[in-house]
Amino acid sequence: MSTFVLVHGAWHEGSAWNKVIKQLEAKGHQAFAPTIAGHGKGVNKNVNHAQCTQSIVDYIVSKDLTDIVLLGHSFGGTIIAKVAEAVSDRIKRLIFFNAFVLNDGDRLTDNIPPDSQALFDKLARESDDNTMMLPSEVWREAFINDADLDLARSSYAQLSPEPYQPFLDKLDLKQFYSLPIAKSYLYCTEDNVLPQGEQWGWHPRMSNRLGLFRLVQMLGSHEVMFSNPIGLAEKIIVAGRE
Amino acid sequence: MSTFVLVHGAWHEGSAWNKVIKQLEAKGHQAFAPTIAGHGKGVNKNVNHAQCTQSIVDYIVSKDLTDIVLLGHSFGGTIIAKVAEAVSDRIKRLIFFNAFVLNDGDRLTDNIPPDSQALFDKLARESDDNTMMLPSEVWREAFINDADLDLARSSYAQLSPEPYQPFLDKLDLKQFYSLPIAKSYLYCTEDNVLPQGEQWGWHPRMSNRLGLFRLVQMLGSHEVMFSNPIGLAEKIIVAGRE
Amino acid sequence: MSTFVLVHGAWHEGSAWNKVIKQLEAKGHQAFAPTIAGHGKGVNKNVNHAQCTQSIVDYIVSKDLTDIVLLGHSFGGTIIAKVAEAVSDRIKRLIFFNAFVLNDGDRLTDNIPPDSQALFDKLARESDDNTMMLPSEVWREAFINDADLDLARSSYAQLSPEPYQPFLDKLDLKQFYSLPIAKSYLYCTEDNVLPQGEQWGWHPRMSNRLGLFRLVQMLGSHEVMFSNPIGLAEKIIVAGRE
């Protein structure tokens, strides 16, 4: 049985994994879903990427978790790469789940199309705290395209504004790329948050940066933790097993 | 419940949708499948793209259809883009189903590989009425690869020669690209009518031209209205819902 | 009912198909799975590509097989292309199953990424008989990513060192590319043996070289003859039917 630590993406918080965790536990696993610093409702959003990373490191150390299968979703992929550098001896495998795998020296925004960059710039500039709130029509059409309207709305209500600074910080990933930790890429094939294809898509553009990795695919959108949590849990187990 | 208007592709006529319509109706929706001018058996094939478009506009207006989910299959994608310009206030959403999404100023033949262009040129030149009949082995191997031989044959018998002029007309699509109508792209993943991949494939090459759109995928060939009409109807509902 | 000849890939031998053959026979077909010269355990590994090809030609001729659906998996794709040149009149259809389709004049190693080339060079150099044994972690992560650990181990135990010379021989395929034999490409969508994508992936990079071909896809890894033999048999029947 495995110990999973699930790191959410932008706009989300740890509770997004509730149904997935329930299923993982029903299958005999342990699973934890910390909320990244600066994320969630009603918290101070003034964080940078290093502070986001440190909050997950602190969570793992404070609970003294070991032999972890550490999963990062979307933006969470940039977090788990840096967490892996900090506590590599506690981690058995990394799972990048429709997640950013940045090249050494990249910032997240280097890896998204110009129109998304322009949208995020505008949203952050128009906010009073350098955050971006995802437009609801983008959520419905591009993020959770496999949900019905009720689920699209109820899941949107769980989102909160995303601090912009962590998207802009350049990440030193030289150590990450030398770690001998096993890696999986879990890819939902209807994810259209990044335009599919060679230029901007999640897979194989991001995934192939991992070198040797285990590919696991499933049907569904970027947001299967809401639209198919049981199916997602099954694939997380396959991605995480020995 | 939605009002679907289903626009067929080249070589087909409206009756290709019969089984899909039956299933949509069984689920409580309305569905219509007009035959494009110059298409079907025993009709005058001397039409251009504007006349094809006008025939669908006339159909929609004569029936006074509103709040339409307008779907175009294959060549039909070029038709619904121009129909949307003409009667945008009647349309709630566009669904491009393994369909051409042309760039402004393109003609359809700009978007197919040189060997297909050469084949179509030759077929039209050798006809006595500037039409192309699809070779049966291309139908069997590339169009309806998921059917057994009986279905491949019976569906081929429903085809008729395609007027070539609409493939050659350059389309002004500036207005289309400024319409605020919601859009979906429904993609069958075994479609090999266009060579899969970045250079010539349906998706993501065509789909990404739509900007923000809802991606819906299903297994199957270019011709699932014959090989899997019930599954197709389910996906059309998902692509068309709010 | 069809007569299938199944040609295995590198590191494998004919017995890899045992469960697939059982299922094909249960569906009323005949199926044969010869072991390529220089392959399998405890045999002389000093073979070149022409000798590999000849061993399959000899097998077909000695059994006087006709109307064959000839399938090649992985490296086996390079074999069936040359077998088809030699005994084209005995072959009804070719199925390339996550297989190499080489361009005329290519050698297999021209079609794999530089890091794989370097690995194979090193393995062959370090052997005492110019063979490569696949590292077990590459097998588990990249080849049989859809298996549990027990199956990954038991299937690995069936492998044997692969002679390197057939990977290095340049193949004259001019005749192959003029053969009028029908062709299918059967593609397992979780195959990560070659990095997915335009530059190095199996499909559509290899498959599109076939010209007109029938595309059949299924879920699974490079090694579904072990991880899903019944599903594979069903897809082989679809790929091979008229």
For the stretch C26-35, pLDDT in tens is 999 999 999 9
Task: Provide, as residue numbers in chain C, all residues whose Cβ is less than 8 Å from the Cβ of B192.
Answer: 213-215
State residue B63's pLDDT score.
98
Using a pLDDT cut of 70, give the percent of chain A over it: 100
pLDDT band at C105 (very low <50, low <70, confident <90, very high): very high
Q: Determine contact, residues A12/A40, Cβ cutoff 8 Å.
A: no
To the nearest whole number, what is the mean pLDDT of chain A? 98
Q: What is the pLDDT of residue B192?
A: 98
CA distances from B100 to A120, C201, C239 (A): 30, 25, 27
| Residue range A26-53: mean pLDDT, rounded | 98
Q: Which chains touch B (3 or more CB pairs under 8 A)?
A: A, C
SS3 content of chain B, % helix, strand, coil (to 5): 40, 15, 45
How far CA B75 is from CA of A102, A164, B96, in Å, comes to 39, 43, 10
List, for residues C49-76, the tens digit of each pLDDT value: 999 999 999 999 999 999 999 999 999 9
Q: Considering only alpha carbons, which residue of chain C is nearest residue A242?
A: C149
Domain of A186?
A: 3-240
When pLDDT is averaged across residues C157-172 and rounded to a whole number, the result is 98
pLDDT for position C11? 98
pLDDT digits (tens, 9 = 90+) for C121-131: 999 999 999 99
Dmax (CA) of chain C: 47
Q: Which residues of B touch A140 (CB under 8 A)?
A: 214
- CB contacts, 8 Å: B148 with chain C: 241
Mean pLDDT throughout B137-156?
Answer: 98
State how far residue A241 is from chain B, nearest Cα, in angstroms.
Answer: 28
- What is the structure's pLDDT at A72? 99
Report pLDDT for C170.
98
Q: Find the mean pLDDT for residues B32-38.
A: 98
| Residue C66, pLDDT score | 98
Mean pLDDT of C105-120: 97
The set of residues, in sequence order, having a beta carbon less than 8 Å from that of C227 and lying 6+ positions away, is C144, C146, C147, C151, C220, C221
Nearest CA in chain B to C183: B141
Give CA–CA dist C74/C176, Å, rounded: 17
Give the residue-averaged pLDDT of B165-181: 98
CATH code of residue C28 = 3.40.50.1820
> What percentage of chain B reaches a pLDDT higher than 90?
100
Domain count, chain C: 1
The closest of B85, B115, B119 to B200, measured between CA atoms, is: B115
pLDDT of res. B66: 98
Q: Residues of B with CB below 8 A from A220's CB?
A: none
Q: Give mean pLDDT, residues A27-31.
A: 98
How sure is the predictor about B24, in pLDDT bands with cuts at 50, 70 and 90?
Answer: very high
- The pLDDT of residue C49 is 98
Distance CA A237, CA A4 (A): 9
Confidence of residue B131 (pLDDT cuts 50, 70, 90): very high
- How confident is the model over A180-230, as pLDDT tens digits? 999 999 999 999 999 999 999 999 999 999 999 999 999 999 999 999 999
Asked whether the beta carbons of residue C141 and residue A212 sit closer than 8 angstroms, the reply is yes
Closest residue of C to A197, CA-based? Answer: C197
pLDDT band, residue A98 (cuts 50/70/90): very high
How far are the Cα atoms of A12, A39, A125, A133, B146 from residue A128, in angstroms, in the given order? 20, 16, 8, 12, 55
Eight-state DSSP code of residue A20? H
What's the pTM?
Answer: 0.98
Spatial contact of B222 and B191, defined as CB atoms under 8 Å apart? yes
**CB pair distance less than 8 Å for A212 and C145:** no
Give residue B39's pLDDT: 98
Residue A1 burial class via C-beta count within 10 angstroms: exposed 0-12, middle 13-18, buried 19 and up: exposed
Q: What pLDDT sits at residue A38?
A: 98
Mean pLDDT of all residues belonging to chain C: 98
Band (A65; pLDDT cuts 50, 70, 90): very high
B-chain residues near A138 (CB < 8 A):
212
- pLDDT band for B143, please (50, 70, 90 cuts): very high
Name the band, by pLDDT with cuts 50, 70 and 90, for residue C174. very high
Measured between beta carbons, which residues in chain C are less than 8 angstroms from residue B137? 212
Buried b (16+ CB within 10 A) or exposed e, B29-55: bebbbbbbbbbbeeeebebebebbbbb
Distance from CA of C190 to the nearest CA of B (A): 14
Top residue of B27, B92, B217 to mutate, by most chain A CBs within 10 Å, is B217
Q: What per-residue confidence (pLDDT) applies to B238?
A: 98
| Partner residue facing B215 (CB), from A137, A145, A198 | A145
**What pLDDT digit, counting tens, does each position of C175-229 carry?**
999 999 999 999 999 999 999 999 999 999 999 999 999 999 999 999 999 999 9
Burial class (CB in 10 A: 0-12, 13-18, 19+), A179: middle
Residue owning tokens 């044994």: C133
